[in-house]
Amino acid sequence: MTTNKFNPQKYIITENIPQFQKFMQSDNVTALSLYSHLTYNDLMVLKSGRRRDIIRVPSNKFDIENGLVSMVQYLAPAQHVSGLNVCRFASEGCKKSCLGYTGRMALNVERTYVQKTIALYLHTEKYLTDLLNDLDTECYAYAKEDKFVYLRLNGLSDLPFDLVIDFDLLFEDIPNFLGGYDYTKKPVNDQTINHHYTYSWNERSTLQIANRFDRVAYVVLKKDKVRLMSEYPDIFTDGNISDIRPKDITRHVLLPFKGKVTDNDFVMSYDAMVGLLGLDNKECVK
């Protein structure tokens, strides 16, 4: 079991931090002139003296009942923080429908995720140190309940955390840590044994890109998700039942769009899904 001898530095790939920071920038002059005076404590420590949480557990009953916990990090999405861009591969459609702007998370984006994003950019090593210490503490606590832990660092971002965190070593050293997983719109699959990527279909996608991934997620209207699940249960997984994509049984995952009817091409219709996957030639179960 992990112990208080846990050394987060062992898992941080410090030589890649400048490259990671550069990846986060959309305009380094703006980013540095706006934020360089801010200390880690300015950004991450609350008036009460408590540090902001970096990762948290979304309440997914199905996963928890099955002994699995997913720890998720949320940042301020896309170019919400001036000078930075944490979703380099975002499409116009996904930015419009992003959960960071549409649901309850919008408030958190303003209140806390902005500060976390700037802290990750300016004080990357310190931030990652706290993140890994928190992961170790959570894994230790969940081990006592016989639960296994996954880490999803891009809850509202699409950053190359593999550059700066050694997921393989973490997997080796923490007995109940099962690895990382994320959604990505990057057209290249950087998946490793201990960090899984699900491709997030968007209006710029092609089947050729999607075929590089063993999981593809589509955002669909709720009513279309219900219809596709009932007609093609062997083709699709309902992405709401579990949060943990590497455990899915089918390759295609449906995520419900939480907003109202949209003309946004990022949100797929029933007809678009059937056409894209050639399902009109397959017999549906109804």
Structure tokens at 142: 């969940």
138 binds ligand SF4 (CB under 6 A): no
Helices 114-122 and 124-143, packing angle to 10 deg: 120
Distance CA 240, CA 22 (A): 34
Q: Please identify, among the stretches 26-34, 40-48, 63-71, 155-163, the one whose residues bind ligand SF4 according to the rule CB under 6 A.
A: 155-163
Residues binding ligand SF4: number (CB under 6 A): 12
Interacting residue with ligand SF4 among 87, 174, 217, 255 (CB under 6 A) = 87
Other beta carbons within 10 angstroms of residue 88's beta carbon come to 16
Can you say how many angstroms the Cα of residue 246 is from the centroid of all Cα atoms in its chain?
13
DSSP state, residue 86? S
Interacting residue with ligand SF4 among 70, 76, 77, 149 (CB under 6 A) = 77
Q: Please identify, among the stretches 92-100, 166-174, 227-235, 251-259, the one whose residues bind ligand SF4 according to the rule CB under 6 A.
A: 92-100
Q: Please identify, among the stretches 39-47, 94-102, 106-114, 228-236, the one whose residues bind ligand SF4 according to the rule CB under 6 A.
A: 94-102
Query: At residue 19, what is the residue type?
Result: Q
Site for ligand SF4 in 98-117 (CB under 6 A): 98, 100
Least CB distance from residue 191 to ligand SF4, whole Å? 17
Give 158-209 as a 3 state SS string. Answer: CCCHHHCECHHHHHHHCCCEEEEEEEECCCCCCCECCEEEEEECCCCCCHHH
Distance CA 258, CA 261 (A): 9
Q: Closer to ligand SF4 at the Cβ: 126 or 204?
A: 204
Interacting residue with ligand SF4 among 158, 162, 243, 248 (CB under 6 A) = 158
Helices 114-122 and 28-35, packing angle to 10 deg: 110
Sign of CA dihedral 141, 9, 56, 53: positive
Nearest partner of 30 among 99, 68, 82, judged by Cα: 82
Q: Please identify, among the stretches 22-30, 37-45, 156-164, 273-281, the one whose residues bind ligand SF4 according to the rule CB under 6 A.
A: 156-164
Q: Can you tell me whether residue 270 is helix, strand or coil?
A: helix
Site string for ligand SF4, 163-202 (x = CB under 6 A): ----------------------x-----------------
Interacting residue with ligand SF4 among 90, 170, 174, 216 (CB under 6 A) = 90
Chain residues binding ligand SF4 by CB under 6 A are 77-78, 87, 90, 94-95, 98, 100, 156-158, 185
